[in-house]
Amino acid sequence: MMKKILGVLVALLVAFGVFSIFAGADEATTAPAPSPAPSAPPAAAGKPAGSVYYLNFKPEQAQQWEALAREYTRETGVPVTVRTAASGTYEDTLRSEMEKPDAPTLFQVNGPVGLKTWKNFCLDLRDTALYANLKSDDFALIDDGQVLGIAYVIESYGLIYNKDLLAKAGYSADDITGFASLKRVAEDIQARREELGVLGAFTSSGMDSSSDWRFKTHLANLPVYYEYKQTGLSTSEAIQGLYLDQYKNIWDLYIHNATCEPGLIGAKTGDDASSEFILGEALFYQNGTWAYDELISGGMRDEQLGMLPIYIGAEGEENQGLCTGSENYWCINKRASQENIDATKAFLEWVITSDTGRDALANQMGFVTPFTTFDQDYTARNALLDDAQRYIAEGKQSVSWTFPTMPSDTWKDGVGAALLEYAQGTSDWENLRRAFVDGWAREYNAVNR
């Protein structure tokens, strides 16, 4: 009898163990952030001045943010904590951090869709220095007349290419002016890959979660952008998939002219692609200005790097530039204490107006910012950003970032899974069409119920 009771107790204990994992704000599942030690101690007792806690989205710049926070604390004595969520876990981390008594005072949303979740936490930023110095309302998330989020970095992405290798193959960037010429060049390189000493024209289109966003989100931006352009919309409850054939064009080109067989991309990671590019095993690498630091620290030189628009075969694409926009909006947590809100506002003002702050953002982190305070001396420059500027100067039309209007992450996952299955040959393009078109309507309804 005793044993039986014990057994039941053990069963309950184990089951409770299972359950409590999912019962809310527990650390075990939500703290995968490899955040190095917080750069400043949490608010010391007896300090009336308040403190700042920034939950940073960009792992690439984690160390620079921590250094900047330390500098601010040294100058003003106000403690600033910076934590960085691991790639792809920002929403999870934010959700559990928000539960804590000392929740982030400064956090990020990715655009209108992300704002929906966190709207009730966002302070109106209209009377802040941040908004006063913003170049245009295009860079703000405005909802019911309230400025709830402000973009702090403008980024571009496209096809990063290796100039040396392209020249070795007998081409230059001027030869690529549309999808047809891109295809011709890429297929020629792929055919001559042994002669050229490369493994493929394109780096592997990895569908591991460290890399799949390049295709399920960034590449999917193009068909959505062209559809919006054709229908005159800027956001949509339902998408028709008018440019899915072109999406297929570019995806086929990527997977069949790459460093690996299409069936293997399920196991390829973001690091695989960047190291293939750095090692000169492939000529084209779809990524953005944020990848610059990684490429340079991998041993590449500025002169080797350039960025081309991603051509998919849409009409009028000879005038297409890079994809430029932002999915990084600062929001101040209005549920934080007044001292902490004030401290956060002061910190942000310092970041965009002081020499130290501007130097850190523009020159060290390499951010192109939408603030008027960043003049000549504080303009980020590197090979990729220069290319982005050049296309604008030539009068090319930048492709705006439409992915903040994609209905949900589940939609993106569905598209990503369909891309993978198509590449593996376990499913066809119709499956992708369903994930793209039907999935959009379904997710839109699921999220906006």
Partner 1 sequence: MNHAIRRYWPLFVLPTVLAFLIGFLAPFLMGLYLSFCQFTTVSDATFVGLDNYIRAFTDPSSNFLHAMWYTALFAFLSTAVVNLAGLTAAVCLTRNIRGRNLFRTVLFMPNLIGGIVLGWLWQVILGGVLARYGKTLVTSEWYGFFGLMLLTLWQQAGYMMIIYISGLNAIPEELTEAASIDGASPWQTFLRVKLPMLMPSITICTFLTLTNGFKLFDQNLALTNGAPSGRSELLALNIFNTFYGRIGWEGAGQAKAVIFFLIVTGIALLQLRLTSTREVQH
Contact between residue 378 and residue 371 where contact means Cβ atoms under 8 Å apart: no
The reply on whether position 19 binds partner 1 by CB under 8 A is yes
DSSP 339: H
Range 421-424, long-range pairs (CB < 8 A, 24+ positions): 422/251, 423/205, 423/207, 423/251, 423/255, 423/262, 423/263, 423/265, 423/266, 424/262, 424/263, 424/265, 424/266
**For partner 1, which stretch binds (CB under 8 A), given 5-13, 155-163, 185-193, 245-253?**
5-13
Segment 408 to 427, residues that bind partner 1, using CB under 8 A: 408-410, 413-414, 417-418, 420-421, 424, 426
Which x/- pattern over 188-227 shows residues binding partner 1 (rule: CB under 8 A)?
-------------------x-x------------------
Which residue among 24, 41, 42, 299 contacts partner 1 (CB under 8 A)?
Answer: 24
Candidate segments 136-144, 194-202, 264-272, 312-320, binder of partner 1 by CB under 8 A? 264-272
231 belongs to the binding site for partner 1 (CB under 8 A): no
Q: Which helix (H) or strand (E) holds 183?
A: helix 179-191
Alpha-carbon gap, residue 293 to 296, rounded angstroms: 5
User: Is 316 a binder of partner 1 (CB under 8 A)?
Assistant: no
Q: Does 293 bind partner 1 (CB under 8 A)?
A: no
Of 299, 302, 251, 308, the closest CA to residue 274 belongs to 299
Of 55-114, binders to partner 1 (CB under 8 A) are 91-92, 95, 98-99, 113
Instruction: Please identify, using beta-carbon distances, which residue of 273 and 295 lies nearer to partner 1.
Output: 273
Minimum distance from CB of 267 to partner 1 (Å)?
4
Least CB distance to partner 1 at residue 409 (A): 6
Distance of closest approach, residue 6 Cβ to partner 1, in angstroms: 10
Is residue 145 involved in binding partner 1 (CB under 8 A)? no
> Is residue 24 classed as helix, strand or coil in its secondary structure?
coil
> Per rule CB under 8 A, is residue 5 in the interface with partner 1?
no
With CB under 8 A as the contact rule, the residue among 30, 204, 221, 324 that binds partner 1 is: 30
* Total residues in contact with partner 1, by rule CB under 8 A: 58
Give the number of other CB atoms < 10 A from CB of residue 13: 9
Per-residue exposure over 177-198, b if at least 16 CB sit within 10 Å of its own CB, e if not: ebbeebbebbebbbeebeebeb
Indicate if the alpha-carbon torsion angle 313, 316, 319, 324 is positive or negative: negative
Q: Contact at 8 Å (CB) between 215 and 266?
A: no
Q: Is 163 in the site for partner 1 (CB under 8 A)?
A: no
**For residues 64 and 360, is the Cβ–Cβ distance under 8 A?**
yes
**Residues pairing with 140 in the sheet:** 150
Does 447 sit near partner 1 (CB under 8 A)? yes
Choose one: 23-31, 33-41, 156-164, 373-381; the region binding partner 1 (CB under 8 A): 23-31
Strand spans (E) along 273-374:
282-288, 305-308, 320-325, 329-332
Residues that bind partner 1 (CB under 8 A): 3-4, 7-8, 10-26, 29-30, 91-92, 95, 98-99, 113, 116-118, 120, 207, 209, 261, 263-267, 408-410, 413-414, 417-418, 420-421, 424, 426, 439, 442-443, 446-447, 449
